[in-house]
Every structure is written in structure tokens, then in C-alpha cells.
């Protein structure tokens, strides 16, 4: 499958999101399934299917890292010009691929 883009089905996306909600819910499977109006058998089947094709939890769509002031705002707030806000984010994407974002 190298180089191929695999489109996830709507059901797969829905179940990945549901499994992510379950993982963060702290609920037992039975009560979670009742709240989601799905059977426990269906829950177990989708969890097994998605585990076979990869991680059963979806990637996070958005990570809030807060708001950083602009460099000009930082300098006006702090009399020392040598002090500046910086942001560095490194994401290990697996298979030796690392995404680095640096803001100075």
C-alpha cells in the first residue's frame, strides 16, 4: 500500500471517533454502548476490526497550545529585549518521520 491514499469509510470514521470517546469517557463498555445506542457486540466487532488495520483511536484533529503574544508585544511587556517567546513542537509520526515546528 505504499504511496496509496486509502479513504476511510464514513462508518470507519464514525467508529474511530466513537472509540476515542469511549477511551476518554471512563465508562464501562456496557453503559457507554447504551448511551451511544449501539450493541456491545457491534462495539467489540468494530474495536477488533480497527485494531487489525491500525490504531483504534483517530488522530487528534486539533491541539490547542494556547496563544502566544507577537514578538513586538513580548518586547513591550518585558524591558529586556533578549527575552522572547518561542514555541517548538516536535511530533514523531513514526517510521523515522518527525515533524518540527519552530516559532521564534
Using one digit for the tens of pLDDT, what is the confidence trace for 23-71?
888 899 999 999 999 999 999 999 998 888 765 455 556 666 677 666 6
What pLDDT score does 60 carry?
Answer: 55
Who has greater pLDDT, 28 or 86?
28
Share of the chain above pLDDT 90, in %: 25
- For the chain, the average pLDDT equals 76
Instruction: Find the mean pLDDT for residues 84-96.
Output: 75
Instruction: Find the mean pLDDT for residues 92-97.
Output: 77
Quote the DSSP letter at residue 9: P
- The C-alpha atoms of residue 32 and residue 54 are separated, in whole angstroms, by 22
Global pTM reads 0.47
Q: Is residue 73 a contact partner of residue 89, using CB atoms and an 8 Å limit?
A: no
Amino acid at each position: 500500500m505504499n504511496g496509496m491514499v486509502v479513504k476511510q469509510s464514513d462508518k470507519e470514521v464514525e467508529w474511530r471517533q466513537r472509540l476515542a470517546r469511549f477511551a476518554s469517557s471512563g465508562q464501562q463498555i456496557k453503559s457507554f454502548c447504551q448511551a451511544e445506542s449501539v450493541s456491545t457486540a457491534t462495539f467489540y466487532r468494530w474495536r477488533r476490526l480497527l485494531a487489525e488495520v491500525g490504531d483504534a483511536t483517530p488522530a487528534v484533529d486539533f491541539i490547542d497550545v494556547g496563544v502566544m503574544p507577537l514578538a513586538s508585544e513580548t518586547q513591550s511587556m518585558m524591558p529586556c529585549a533578549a527575552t522572547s517567546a518561542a514555541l517548538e513542537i516536535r511530533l514523531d509520526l513514526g517510521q523515522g518521520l518527525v515533524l518540527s515546528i519552530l516559532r521564534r
